[in-house]
Structure 1
Amino acid sequence: MSGQEQNEAGSKAAVKQAGTEVATPKRTKEIIAKYGFSFKKSLGQNFLIDQNILNNIVAAAELDETKGALEIGPGIGALTQRLAQAAGKVTAVEIDNRLIPILKDVLAEEAHTTVIHGDVLKLDLKQLFAEQFADVSGVSVVANLPYYVTTPILMKLLEEKLPLEHIVVMIQKEVAERMAAKPGGKEYGSLSVAVQYYCVPKVVCTVPHTVFIPQPNVDSAVIKLSLREKPAVDVPDEDHFFRVVQASFAQRRKTLANNLTAFVGKERREALTEMLLSNDIDPIRRGETLSLVEFARISRSMLEAGWGTQSVSS
């Protein structure tokens, strides 16, 4: 696109936003009143009214007219509007059927935008991608995720190994910090390892609770997860690797040796200690100090010994 074309496109978007921009307190309240919409606390519904935050989210997704965006939980379409201006194809999945007519109204003039009523946790995402994004060069997930389903949705997106470039989501600030945490800090845990196994995380910005209608009780953050071409570490069995990680954080105040003994059995305590030492890992360390490489070494050694092949009991 030439510089002149970019300026013209930007001008058109600015004119459009001036009259129909959803992400303002006035417009959001008008839409709520027009449709008699009432918020469901059980769905974690909070509508963003800050245009600068929307700009940050869309910019982080690195979209252009050749790419597609999957939006989860579009609400009344504030973010969807911006995505439609940035991407060649936008598909929005909304669980609340009361919002579908609102979205179709708000997005009536947005070409290449599809609204689907459904629960993303129950959808066949590979089929959805095949149907919705066959003609784009890349796809990113962009969403304002309800706090109560953040981890299940993200892990589904990652574990299904979808052809994604980025996942840009607004989530609870503390959860974003855990995803991006490095070994040695109190925020570092099994979620950190799982996310960083698949992605390179970066916190884009923090979002105060005051820029939503209604206001949530906690602040949020926008985090960008850039999908790796291959996982951060090579492991022979991903399921076993993640069970080892889960076991290592089972009781954070306990040493690695104690947590993993509960995982492999007391009768293997001495052999476990020897195995850790042979991998240059002090048995008295805690799980929060281990890198992904060290977790991978432990998992590989356990598999070679035939340990921990059963699921961790909850």
Structure 2
Amino acid sequence: MTKDIATPARTKEILKKYGFSFKKSLGQNFLIDTNVLHRIVDHAEVGEETGVIEIGPGIGALTEQLAKRAKKVVAFEIDQRLLPILSDTLASCTNVKIIHEDVLKANVRQVIEEEFKDCKEVMVVANLPYYVTTPIIMKLLEDQLPLKGIVVMLQKEVADRIAATASTKEYGSLSIAIQYYTEAKTVMTVPKTVFIPQPNVDSAVIRLLKRDKPAAEMQNEDFFFELMRASFAQRRKTLMNNILQQYPVGKAIKEELEQQLNDAGIDPRRRGESLTIEEFAKASDVLYPLLKTK
């Protein structure tokens, strides 16, 4: 029986065998701690009826552990140099398929429909390259894919921002954009010492479980997100000042805008970072007719 991929000795042996050198531009950091991988798979609650999408399998360390528990694993790998390595390291994993494609350009919905017909649920589980974490998560959520959830390793600072609550310094438009679609929780922190090469920062694993319906209802979803981003444009400014900066048309009706916010129970002198998702939904409903339909 071969040793697990995620040990320092086996990882170095594989890298040496293929003369593999890390590409900084692809954010490649390989995990060399099997215990960490087991815990990631545990937090994703992967079982024999689960289909798993992995992004950036590297040399297959996490893929191998997922394959032991999942019905099927489909991994997207952008780096062509890793394809022969993966076909070697995962040779005994008959339930794994590697797709050589950038997940940001892929038709993930079609992959789910074609590859996971026999699976009861689909999870995304990945050790994401730091430089492209947010675009990947937002694509998976905005595309409204039939996922149960997403469990990913990312930079701890980004995980803190995603899981943050209102009135904390980490809370911002990213927190709201992701929590609108999911319930977010940081489930473990991971030291930089369990990677080759070691990154400069600590990592965390975040679990995002898809909500049955978005966290709040509003008349116009596009305006909700637009208003929310505008409210964080300058964090030290009040909600009202940020709104007037973003929507100059509002200057002539400032008092009416303030009145509408007050009537909705939102003090216009508050800062954007103090508003919950529900409050942003209320604000967008009362301001939409004044700022967008004039």
TM-score (norm 2): 0.97
Deviation at 1:237, TM superposition (A): 2.2
Q: What secondary structure sits across from 1:217 in the alignment? A: coil
| 1:238 lines up with 2:238 in the alignment | no
Deviation at 1:309, TM superposition (A): 7.3
| 1:85 lines up with 2:44 in the alignment | no
Q: Equivalent of 1:296, from 265, 278, 281?
A: 281
> 1 CA distance for matches of 2:54 and 2:130?
16
Deviation at 1:111, TM superposition (A): 1.4
The corresponding residue for 2:145 is: 162
| Structure 2: runs of 5 or more not aligned | none
Q: What secondary structure sits across from 1:142 in the alignment? A: strand
Deviates more, 1:166-175 or 1:49-58: 49-58
Superposed CA RMSD in Å reads 1.3
The corresponding residue for 2:203 is: 220
| 1:287 lines up with 2:275 in the alignment | no
Q: What secondary structure sits across from 1:246 in the alignment? A: helix
> 1 CA distance for matches of 2:36 and 2:134?
22
CA displacement, residues 3-58 of structure 1 (integer Å, 9 cap, x when unaligned):
xxxxxxxxxxxxx5xx3301010001001000000100000000011111101110
CA displacement, residues 130-184 of structure 1 (integer Å, 9 cap, x when unaligned):
1111221100000111111011000000000101111000000011011111101
The corresponding residue for 1:182 is: 165
1:132-281 matches, cutoff 5 A: 132-265=115-248, 266-281=251-266
> 2 CA distance for matches of 1:197 and 1:169?
18
Partner AA of 2:269 in structure 1:
I
1:24-43 matches, cutoff 5 A: 24-43=7-26
> 2 CA distance for matches of 1:78 and 1:175?
23
Partner AA of 1:86 in structure 2:
R
Q: What secondary structure sits across from 1:20 in the alignment? A: coil
> 2 CA distance for matches of 1:116 and 1:154?
18
TM-score (norm 1): 0.91
> 1 CA distance for matches of 2:195 and 2:23?
15
The corresponding residue for 2:40 is: 57
Deviation at 1:59, TM superposition (A): 0.5
Instruction: Count residues in correspondence.
Output: 292
Relative to structure 1, the CA distance from residue 172 to residue 90 in structure 2 (aligned partners, 3 Å threshold; closer, same or farther) is same
CA displacement, residues 279-300 of structure 1 (integer Å, 9 cap, x when unaligned):
1111111011000110000111
Does the 8 Å CA contact 1:263/1:308 hold for their aligned counterparts? no
The corresponding residue for 1:72 is: 55
Deviation at 1:72, TM superposition (A): 0.3
| 1:128 lines up with 2:122 in the alignment | no
Partner AA of 2:235 in structure 1:
R
CA displacement, residues 227-270 of structure 1 (integer Å, 9 cap, x when unaligned):
11111111222221111110010000100000011222222322
CA displacement, residues 61-103 of structure 1 (integer Å, 9 cap, x when unaligned):
1111111000000000000000000100100000101001111
> 2 CA distance for matches of 1:219 and 1:299?
37
CA displacement, residues 203-227 of structure 1 (integer Å, 9 cap, x when unaligned):
1110111110000000000000011
